[in-house]
Chains A and B, each alone.
Chain A
């Protein structure tokens, strides 16, 4: 799941630099940090909550929590995981119990011969994938969104979602299957 491109590596360094500046007391660096991560965070939160308006409300809560807690973030290189996990928790408490009832989720282990989990669809299919994401179950949508947006390790994704690493692998596998089904169904329509 992990082979960072130069662009992304630079992006992470830049975020970490901003986090350090915030921790050193440069409050304007926080605004810059929000600007730099807002699009990604909104995309993630929007996939978790019902509508656009709620997503902005949740995201606003995320920034408030991040602003309050950033001083205690000792490992600045973990900023990404930390921020996503705040977003996850905030969105989940927004959704209340709905997501916690996981009986409908297929968390059975991925087959041994499972395809390469780092694989992503063709960029030309991005718009179709974006639309198809709404057609899959929330836990699958979440893990897939994280997978598409960030080059996270399975362990990091597990920390964000708060489930064991094995569950992330399994969800990612099943999520890809579900996405393929939705894409195929739409092709046939």
Chain B
């Protein structure tokens, strides 16, 4: 598009006189969040209580271990308890807030879940190595390895994607800055002439 075509487009757009409805503006403002109904809020209390119960259940043997419970298992249970508690707190915040932030809330919860999963599989792997029944230990280890591999692939993929986006963002910023500088230079050259 040259300057003339750009000018034509601007004038064409200016000819369209319309203001958005109140509903449009309101719905657009709510796009990033989803309001929860009373029933949804109540329904979310159940998994929240489950997380609290799970945290207590895991924390109890971690703090007062029964005999022969390996240290790694205690650590695993401790991590699980903390993770469950964090999840419960997050759900509590969402329930209290009454809205789900569509982009950020699921991301935070997923990250916690993935971290817990990675830690749990790692610990279970170490525990499997120390199992007296070698065949059973190997079986557990193989399953753990597969799960860990899948989780790692997803994690690496997401890290690569984020890195790529970061790089592209920086490049675009640079490109835009260069364009601005070029435009300024062109303008100052025009004034001189």
- On A, residues with C-beta under 8 Å from B are 3-10, 13-14, 16-17, 20-21, 23-25, 27, 30-31, 34, 39-40, 42-43, 46, 52-53, 55-57, 59-60, 63-64, 67, 76, 120-123, 126-127, 129-131, 148-149, 151
Contact string against A for B residues 81-105, beta-carbon threshold 8 Å, 1 for contact and 0 otherwise: 0000000000000000000011110
CB proximity of B33 to chain A, nearest CB, Å: 9
CB proximity of B80 to chain A, nearest CB, Å: 27
20 contacts between A and B (CB under 8 A): A3-B1, A24-B166, A25-B103, A27-B32, A30-B31, A30-B32, A31-B32, A46-B18, A56-B18, A56-B23, A59-B24, A60-B27, A60-B28, A64-B31, A76-B168, A120-B8, A126-B8, A126-B14, A127-B11, A129-B12
Q: Are B1 and A8 in contact (CB under 8 A)?
A: yes
Which residues of chain B come closer than 8 Å to A55, judged between CB atoms?
Answer: 18
Q: Are A10 and B11 in contact (CB under 8 A)?
A: no
Q: Are A20 and B6 in contact (CB under 8 A)?
A: no
Q: Name which of B3, B169, B183 has the most chain A CB atoms within 10 A of its CB.
A: B169
Chain A interface SS verdict (over half): helix
Q: Name which of B7, B8, B179 has the most chain A CB atoms within 10 A of its CB.
A: B8
B15 CB contact (under 8 Å) in A5, A27, A127? A127
Which residues of chain B come closer than 8 Å to A24, judged between CB atoms?
Answer: 162, 165-166, 169
Is B13 an interface residue when CB atoms closer than 8 A count as contact? yes
Chain B interface SS verdict (over half): helix
CB proximity of A149 to chain B, nearest CB, Å: 6
Contact string against A for B residues 50-76, beta-carbon threshold 8 Å, 1 for contact and 0 otherwise: 000000000000000000000000000
| Minimal Cβ-Cβ distance residue in B for A1 | B1
Q: Are A23 and B165 in contact (CB under 8 A)?
A: yes
Give chain B interface residues in 2-50, CB to chain A under 8 Å: 2-9, 11-16, 18, 20-21, 23-24, 27-28, 31-32
Q: Are B104 and A25 in contact (CB under 8 A)?
A: yes
B12 CB contact (under 8 Å) in A5, A23, A43? A43
Q: Are B8 and A122 in contact (CB under 8 A)?
A: yes
From B117-125, B129-137, B170-178, give the one contacting chain A. B170-178
Which residues of chain A come closer than 8 Å to B7, judged between CB atoms?
Answer: 123
- On B, residues with C-beta under 8 Å from A are 1-9, 11-16, 18, 20-21, 23-24, 27-28, 31-32, 101-104, 107, 162, 165-166, 168-169, 172-173, 175-176, 179, 182-183
Q: Are A130 and B32 in contact (CB under 8 A)?
A: no
Q: Are A20 and B179 in contact (CB under 8 A)?
A: no
Q: Are A27 and B12 in contact (CB under 8 A)?
A: no
Which residues of chain A come closer than 8 Å to B15, judged between CB atoms?
Answer: 126-127, 130-131
A148–B16 alpha-carbon span in the complex (Å): 14
Which residues of chain B come closer than 8 Å to A67, judged between CB atoms?
Answer: 31-32, 102
| Minimal Cβ-Cβ distance residue in A for B7 | A123
| Minimal Cβ-Cβ distance residue in A for B4 | A123
